[in-house]
């Protein structure tokens, strides 16, 4: 698989895997047909009939239920507004988002494995980005699509009361289960949806809450009250709420939150789910079931197969570690030559390429110089090379998303005199920072708050991600706050080589 064409992302967006069964959805259906895991490719083509000045690319985004990271592709527009791209997918069909790079708004379309989706896009007189024509698998009604953004906005805007610092894990779980129902009811109130779309939203928002609140007890308390505030770590019994979600339901594959929920579950404190490593899949599942069976309410089904796939995905995404020969044999022994095997092996090809760059990871002590000299001291270490400096934090989702996209530039520049330097500060928990940089690679520095504040103030920015690009003589030539797109970043670097 050609990594140059592929940009992956961990940041979740609402997406849907859709079973490929016909060209239209029959009215009266109370839920979507069960989705099928599929290692395929889908093609998207079309035209922006009235492209606005400066619009040169579209972002195409969709989830991957097996390998966990969201896919994000930059689709280049031709001079007449036409575009086309072929992408790997992990379901028979996927609900994808098309976003005009640098402009607000997004539209929804369906990508179908082995098929071509054709769309005609335009900006209306108000500047809103819309589909004027589409040839696609049609499962959602026009009203369903119109309600997507409003439902999500209402759900995210309905804030929960802050839990008190001494709340126990069990009290927190009871409180959050009640709040989940309240927030979903509020989000869905007044929405005109088909029965199938309503069923989807109930499941999708439930997973949204499960991953973001119920499986995040420790993070929520530490973020609210500080790292020393946690009174009791959750144990396995805390997770008894999992029975309420029927995680064997294949309808969950439709949700863009499914993979992140599974990743949080597999690493949840108190469950102690082991790394899969070279353990045969059936033996690993047997050990996992000893913990999870009573919590989820069943001891067999596709949930456990997807959990095993997600265990390999965690190795891919957290460690940039390719499959060992033993792991390949274990996967083939358990999954045969089926779709999950094909998807994992396809992903492994990407990881092999990325892992070849892991020796470029370097973690540095911050130079012991006055803060006024800090940045120049760091840049001087790379004299004779073009330097991209990335200000980021572990909690900054746009930062993490951009890093995954910039992997394409790093791969293209791997044999050129270009260095990628990453600066963060103490707002990023050290343990999490050490974990995340394993897949970011590059040159890393961990600043204190005073150093960080001085650099932001002296450079005149307050938001991240922010990028500085220096020429080979150490002179800053470009500064961007907010990810400006790979085309602009790569162009700025290449002009300095």
Q: What is the pLDDT of residue 47?
A: 95
Number of domains present in the structure of the chain: 3
The residue out of 355, 381, 406 marking a domain boundary is 355
* CB neighbour list of residue 378: distance below 8 Å, 6 or more residues apart: 367, 389, 421, 423, 445
Contacts of 365 by beta carbon, 8 Å cutoff, 6+ apart: none
Query: Quick one: pLDDT band at residue 227, thresholds 50, 70, 90?
Result: low
Q: Domain end: 321, 336, 355, which one? A: 355
pTM: 0.83
Residue 8 lies in a domain: yes
Indicate if the pLDDT at residue 228 is higher than 70: no
Same domain, 124 and 180: no
Judge if 334 and 371 occupy the same domain. no
Strands 70-76 and 8-9: antiparallel
Do 295 and 381 fall into the same domain? no
Q: What is the CA radius of gyration of the chain?
A: 23
Q: Which residue has the tokens 């959050």?
A: 176
Q: Is residue 149 part of a domain?
A: no
Residue 19 has pLDDT above 90, yes or no: no
- Residue whose structure tokens are 């000893």: 290
Does residue 340 surpass a pLDDT of 90?
Answer: yes
pLDDT at 342: 98
The mean pLDDT value for 454-460 works out to 94
Q: In this structure, what is the dihedral angle of CA atoms 16, 20, 22, 27, given to the nearest 10 degrees?
A: -40
Residues 467, 422 share a domain:
yes
Residue 395 covered by a domain? yes
Q: Computed from CA positions of residues 185, 188, 194, 196, in that sequence, does the dihedral angle turn out positive or negative? A: negative
Cis amide prior to 465 (ω within 30 degrees): yes
Q: Is residue 417's pLDDT more than 60?
A: yes
353 CB burial (10 A radius; 0-12, 13-18, 19+): middle
**CATH number, position 41:** 2.60.40.1120
Q: Look at residue 155 and tell me if it is in a domain.
A: no
At 397, the pLDDT band (50, 70, 90 cuts) reads confident
Q: Are residues 238 and 275 in the same domain?
A: yes
**Predicted local confidence at residue 6, as pLDDT:** 35
Q: Is a pLDDT exceeding 60 seen at residue 414? A: yes
- Same domain for 411 and 368: yes
In a domain, 145, yes or no: no
In a 10 Å sphere around its CB, with 0-12 CB exposed, 13-18 middle and 19+ buried, how is residue 460 labelled?
Answer: exposed
- DSSP 3-state of 375: helix
Mean pLDDT of 410-421: 90
* Mean predicted confidence (pLDDT) in 323-338: 97
Per-residue pLDDT tens for 466-489?
999 999 999 999 999 999 888 899
Pairing, β 362-364 against β 443-446:
parallel
Name which of 95, 40, 103 is nearest 77 in CA terms. 103
Residue 94 has pLDDT above 90, yes or no: no
> Which of 85-89, 149-153, 201-205, 238-242 has the least mean pLDDT?
149-153
Do residue 133 and residue 172 come from a single domain? no
Does residue 394 surpass a pLDDT of 70? Answer: yes
Q: What residues contact 392, with CB distance under 8 A and at least 6 apart?
A: 399, 400, 403, 422, 423, 424, 464, 465
The span from the CA of 34 to the CA of 431, in Å, is 39
Nearest alpha carbon to residue 119 among 152, 83, 155: 83
Please report, for residues 41, 248, 407, 457, the alpha-carbon distance to residue 4 in angstroms, rounded to integers and kept in the order given.
16, 36, 9, 36
Residue 331 shares a structural domain with residue 381: no
Of all residues in the chain, the percent with pLDDT exceeding 90 is 59
Confidence of residue 106 (pLDDT cuts 50, 70, 90): confident
Boundary-marking domain end, from 355, 377, 408 = 355
Band of residue 67 on the pLDDT scale cut at 50, 70, 90: very high
Q: Which two tokens stand for residue 111?
A: 């990508």
**Residues 187, 152 contacting (CB under 8 angstroms):** yes
Q: Is the pLDDT of residue 7 over 60?
A: no
pLDDT band at 229 (very low <50, low <70, confident <90, very high): low
Position 230 confidence tier, pLDDT thresholds 50, 70, 90: low
Angle, alpha carbons 218-223-226 (nearest 5°)? 95
Residue 173 has pLDDT above 80, yes or no: yes
When the pLDDT of each residue in the chain is averaged and rounded to a whole number, the result is 87
Which whole number is the average pLDDT over 218-243?
A: 78
DSSP SS3 for 284 = helix
Q: Is residue 344 part of a domain?
A: yes
* pLDDT value at residue 24: 35
Reported as a pLDDT band with limits 50, 70 and 90, residue 298 is: very high
Is residue 453, in this structure, part of any structural domain at all?
A: yes
Co-location of 366 and 350 in the same domain: no
CA distance linking residue 281 with residue 373, whole number of Å: 53
Q: Are residues 195 and 135 in the same domain?
A: no
Tokens 């069960």 belong to 34
The predicted pLDDT at position 9 comes to 34
Q: According to the model, what pLDDT value does residue 4 have? A: 30
**Residue 269 within any structural domain of the chain:** yes
Are 456 and 481 in a shared domain?
A: yes
Half-sphere exposure of 19 (CA within 13 A, CB side): 12
Residue 51, pLDDT score: 83
- Indicate if 385 and 490 belong to the same structural domain: yes
CATH number for 400: 3.40.30.10
What is the domain extent for residue 7?
Answer: 3-139
Q: What's the pLDDT score for residue 358?
A: 66
């Amino acid at each position: 698989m050609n990594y140059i064409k592929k940009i992956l992302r961990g940041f979740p967006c609402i997406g849907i895997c859709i079973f490929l069964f016909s060209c239209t959805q029959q009215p009266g259906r109370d839920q979507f047909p069960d989705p099928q895991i599929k290692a395929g490719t889908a093609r998207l083509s079309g035209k922006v009939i009235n492209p606005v000045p400066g619009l040169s690319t579209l972002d195409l985004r969709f989830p991957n239920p097996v390998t966990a990271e969201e896919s994000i592709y930059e689709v280049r527009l031709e001079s007449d507004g036409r575009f086309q791209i072929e992408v790997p997918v992990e379901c028979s069909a996927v609900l994808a988002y098309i976003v005009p790079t640098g402009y607000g708004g997004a539209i929804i379309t369906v990508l179908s494995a082995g098929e071509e989706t054709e769309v005609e896009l335009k900006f209306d007189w108000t500047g809103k980005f819309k589909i004027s024509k589409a040839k696609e698998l049609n499962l959602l009604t026009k009203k369903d699509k119109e309600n997507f953004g409003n439902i999500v906005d209402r759900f995210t805007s309905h804030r929960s009361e802050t839990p008190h610092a001494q709340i126990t894990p069990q009290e927190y779980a009871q409180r959050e289960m009640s709040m989940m129902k309240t927030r979903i009811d509020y989000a869905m109130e007044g929405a005109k949806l088909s029965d199938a779309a309503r069923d989807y939203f109930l499941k999708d928002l439930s997973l949204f809450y499960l991953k973001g609140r119920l499986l995040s007890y420790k993070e929520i308390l530490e973020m609210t009250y500080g790292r020393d505030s946690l009174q009791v770590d959750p144990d396995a019994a805390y997770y008894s709420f999992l029975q309420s979600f029927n995680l064997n339901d294949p309808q969950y594959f439709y949700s863009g939150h499914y993979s992140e929920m599974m990743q949080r579950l597999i690493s949840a404190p108190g469950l102690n789910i082991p790394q899969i490593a070279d353990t045969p899949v059936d033996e690993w599942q047997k050990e996992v079931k000893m913990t999870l069976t009573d919590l989820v309410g069943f001891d067999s089904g596709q949930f456990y197969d997807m959990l095993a796939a997600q265990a390999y995905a965690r190795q891919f995404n957290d460690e940039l570690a390719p499959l060992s020969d033993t792991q390949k044999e274990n996967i083939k022994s358990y999954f045969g030559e089926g779709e999950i095997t094909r998807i994992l092996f396809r992903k492994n090809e990407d990881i092999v390429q990325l892992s070849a760059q892991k020796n470029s990871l370097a973690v540095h002590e911050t130079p012991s110089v006055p803060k006024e000299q800090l940045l120049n001291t760091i840049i001087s270490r790379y004299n004779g090379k073009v330097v991209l400096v990335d200000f980021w934090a572990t909690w900054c989702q746009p930062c993490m998303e951009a890093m995954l996209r910039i992997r394409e530039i790093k791969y293209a520049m791997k044999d050129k005199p270009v260095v990628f330097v990453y600066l963060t500060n103490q707002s990023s928990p050290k343990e999490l920072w050490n974990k995340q940089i394993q897949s970011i690679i590059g040159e890393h520095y961990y600043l204190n708050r005073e150093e960080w504040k001085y650099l932001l103030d002296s450079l005149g920015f307050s938001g991240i991600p922010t990028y500085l690009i220096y020429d080979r003589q150490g002179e800053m030539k470009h500064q961007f706050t907010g990810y400006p797109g790979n085309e602009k970043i790569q162009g700025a670097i290449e002009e300095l080589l």
